Amino acid sequence: MNAYKNWLLVLLIPVVFSCSTALDDYDSTTPEFNLPRYFNGEVTAWGIVQDYSTKLTRRFCVDIVGTWQGNQGQLHETFYYNDGEQQVRIWDLLISDDGSVTGGAADVIGQASGGSKGTAFNWQYTLRVPVDNSEYDLFVDDWMFLLDENRVMNRSYMKKLGITVAEISIFFDKTAPIRKCS
């Protein structure tokens, strides 16, 4: 019986790993995601946070203002949570000649890095998240998908020790006139 289990495991490993997503999977998709083109000016987004059991724990709206000078950009994000909390995150971004993106913010540990292919942008970083009277450093695997020139869908997976502890879904819209959170 152990031989049967071992063979089953050997057969399942390629299936499990083939389910993982890589940025190259989106190379030929359109429309093409261009970070400074999309996040230039005002954008509003709405999102939810789900815990490890997929239970909805928070809702939020975020007003974003993006500014660019050449390959350097800044995203000023103001979050409005349904429980009354407000939070500001300011991203400083740099796009390298090869198209890769690096950046940081006050609550990001180290440097964020990522890039885009086709319609997708993938961004990875460690975020310091306050919970009650503690802080946790969580790895974030952040995926954005350009739907059209005005809309982006975002899925973020927050992990601790390789285990997903929260998922965030965000819908970005910059259709004029911009609908602000406040």
- Provide the pLDDT for residue 2: 54
Domains defined along the chain, listed by start:
23-173 (2.40.128.20)
- Its pTM stands at 0.86
What Å distances lie between residue 105 and 57, 76, 162, 173, CA to CA?
Answer: 24, 10, 23, 22
Residues in the chain: 182
Q: pLDDT tens for residues 51-73?
A: 999 999 999 999 999 999 999 99
Residue 160, pLDDT above cutoff 70: yes
What secondary structure letter does DSSP report for 163? E
pLDDT digits over 71-87, tens only? 999 999 999 999 999 99
**What is the token pair recorded at 123?**
């961004």
Average pLDDT, the chain: 91
Higher pLDDT, 104 or 10: 104
Q: Provide the CB-side half-sphere exposure for 11 (13 A, CA).
A: 6
* Paired residues of 87 in beta bridges: 79
